[in-house]
Amino acid sequence: MKRRQFVGSLAAAASLAACAKQEGNCEGAAAQFSETFEWSAATSWPPKYPGLGIAVNNLADRIERASGGRLKIKVYAGGELVPAFEAFDAVSRGMVEMGHDAAYYHKGKVEAAQLFTAIPFGMNYMEMNAWLYYGGGLELWRELYEPFNLVPFPCGNTGVQMGGWFNKEINSISDLKGLKMRIPGLGGEVIRRAGGTPVTMPAAEIFTSLQTGAIDATEWVGPYNDVILGLHTVAKYYYYPGWQEPAPALQCYINTKAWDSLPPDLQAIIEVSCQAITTDMMAEYTHGNAIALQQLIEDPNVEIRPFPDEVLQYLKAITQEIVAEMVARDPAIAKIHASWSSFIEKSIPNQRITEQAFLATRK
């Protein structure tokens, strides 16, 4: 408690000192730093779910501590306050102040949002952050969400995901025909064009759907989260790499009116805390995936396999077709994709002689 008071006092003291130095009316500044806020946050995740769900609780905790208790946020799991995929609407309408999920869940409302989660065969974690924070991506994101009364922030990333769990082998392109798979976003549209049927469902429904045969396959995240859901107990084949989500960025978004009501120091605390959560989540997944993968390697009932190259190349070609069509029909997508493409074209040569070259030495 003393630490919280100290942090809050530092912020207030800095503002009041600046006010006094400029010989202004400091009563307003003092009142500003005594005002408190209590918010609600709606998410798409199961309660206290490792990685995705806990990150939101960590975000709320960081913000409360850094603000000296001036901004408190109560986090609701998917379905507790609103259905798992309706946080976007709830925040947009002002029912709650904050939401946390993945932008591609809302492609039905704003198709271009998918580009801020992941484009199949696209950027890795480092590239995505570079584009968002230094390549103009975040500005484009906020411009896209402005009509919905939302201010978005990057807030989490899992890194390269797995290709998913399958109850049948994928040995050729023909094996994709008739495949019913839980897979959202652009990856889902790719599967559709490959002859499959994409299904979107929240995490809580995945296990039962795969177990009962309602779906033939599912992608979720990676070993860390997949083992927690028990997917390895209801499917045999675990394919990689996660072509559909090479670096899915998660989002925190705030109702514009609520955001504007905050003093500058609390706004800064939210921005810094969201960026810290992104870094922390990547560390959590890097550690958790390594531990969980070892468990799966040792499981005699699990076969971990790479997708055949012909399948990956086929899915990549479909991805390029879909993105080209999206760019042609939607000016907002064209604008965002132009920025995205410009950066990745510059980044690939650098990644090739740094990360890729180094990782190749560890074979």
Q: What is the pLDDT of residue 31?
A: 55
What integer pLDDT is reported at residue 17 of this predicted model? 41
**What are the backbone angles phi and psi of residue 268, rounded to the nearest 5°?**
-65, -40
What does the DSSP assignment read for 270-304?
A: HHHHHHHHHHHHHHHHHHHHHHHHHHHHT-TT-EE
Between vectors from CA 139 to CA 137 and to CA 140, what angle results, nearest 5°? Answer: 65
Q: Could you count the other beta carbons within 10 Å of the beta carbon of residue 152? A: 23
Beta strands in the chain (DSSP E): 37-43, 71-76, 98-102, 150-157, 164-166, 180-182, 197-199, 217-218, 237-240, 249-255, 303-306
User: pLDDT under 70 in the chain at which residues?
Assistant: 1-32
> Each residue of 154-199: pLDDT tens digit?
999 999 999 999 999 999 999 999 999 999 999 999 999 999 999 9
Residue 2, pLDDT score = 39
The whole-number pLDDT of residue 34 equals 80
Q: What is the mean pLDDT of the chain?
A: 92
Distance CA 339, CA 128 (A): 12
Rounded to whole angstroms, the Cα distance separating 270 from 267 reads: 5
pLDDT at 363: 78
pLDDT for 28 equals 53
Alpha-carbon 209 to chain mean position: 23
- 3-state class (DSSP) for residue 173: helix
**Does the domain at residues 164-244+301-329 carry the CATH identifier 3.40.190.10?**
yes
Residue pair 116/152 in contact by the 8 Å Cβ criterion? yes
Please state the separation of Cα 16 from the chain's center in Å.
37
Class of domain 34-156+247-298+331-363: alpha beta
**CA 115, CA 323: separation in Å to the nearest integer?**
10
Q: What is the pLDDT of residue 29?
A: 47
Residues 24-57 have pLDDT tens digits of 554 554 456 789 999 999 999 999 899 999 999 9
Total Cβ atoms within 10 A of residue 295: 12
pLDDT at 27: 56
Domain ranges of the chain: 34-156+247-298+331-363, 164-244+301-329
pLDDT for res 32: 61
Same CATH fold, 164-244+301-329 and 34-156+247-298+331-363? yes
